[in-house]
Structure 1
Amino acid sequence: MGYFKLNFNPVTFKAQTTYGTNLTDVLMLGGYAVKDMNPVTNEASYTGIKVMGSWAELSYKKNDWEYAFLAGYSKNYGAEDDIASTDLVYARSKDIGELYRLAPRVCKKYKNLKFEFEAEYTAAAYGKLAEKAKVEDTKWIGGTRYSLGVYYFF
């Protein structure tokens, strides 16, 4: 994992990238798959599914206003080893090959209150599991979400 933040008042740039296998514990895509199974004892050996996730955010603050834009991307790179069967894949969103998110937002501070409006577009490439737990024959499906937040700081 790598992360950095550059602060050039009033502009701030932040970015992070993470790469690894079986990153479901940090709510990312991926998981693991059975690569070999003993038919007599049902003892199995496993291989992790490689995933990369990145995001970047650019924000601008002036007086009590903040304008920001976040972009994120994640990709399933499959397993290093051959897998025994696509039915023996244990993963979060195992049928997603890649996804991205674009999210602009605007915030206004007023005394101890903060009002925030965000629009978010997320799209994911759904497909079929193939060799090495890679996703093929994908089709993009997207959706938009709007949110309004009100925060009180004390």
Structure 2
Amino acid sequence: MSQPFEHDPLLERLAKEAYRHGNFTLASGRSSNHYVNCKPVSLSGSGLALLCPAMLALVEVDAAAVGGLTLGADPLVSGVALAAAQGGRSLDALIVRKQAKGHGTGAWLEGPLPKQGALVTVLEDVVTTGGSSIKAVEQLRAAGYSVNRVVTIVDREEGGAAAMQA
């Protein structure tokens, strides 16, 4: 499932700004000596300029939208949708909430909603157990969309890919 990027400036940027060595507790609750936080790269204009074309290349050509669980996926879905538009491709961005909106429509999804049954590719910054990606996929499918692919910046190779395939 993992596909290494062949974009040296991107790899160098991620290694310099996203990776840390030490003692960390991950979002999954696991302990690790390696921590990856892609937000310093994904929340900078120059970082998005490197990330988004690489991610767009992995989005299904017939996808109507890209979506992902807030917060890590927020800049990615917007940046990939923009990169698509700059290349003449129609691709919308969806943000999947961690819980339903507590007021108004009570929505789980934000963004221009595609037609029911449309294909959506899920974007993620870091996959460890796959929990965030699985939650995004479940919410998108519950809303009537087809999801066949998750594209991530970093797969920590700690069972996330296998969990998503199960």
TM-score, normalised with respect to structure 2:
0.24
TM-score, normalised with respect to structure 1:
0.25
Larger helix fraction of residues: 2
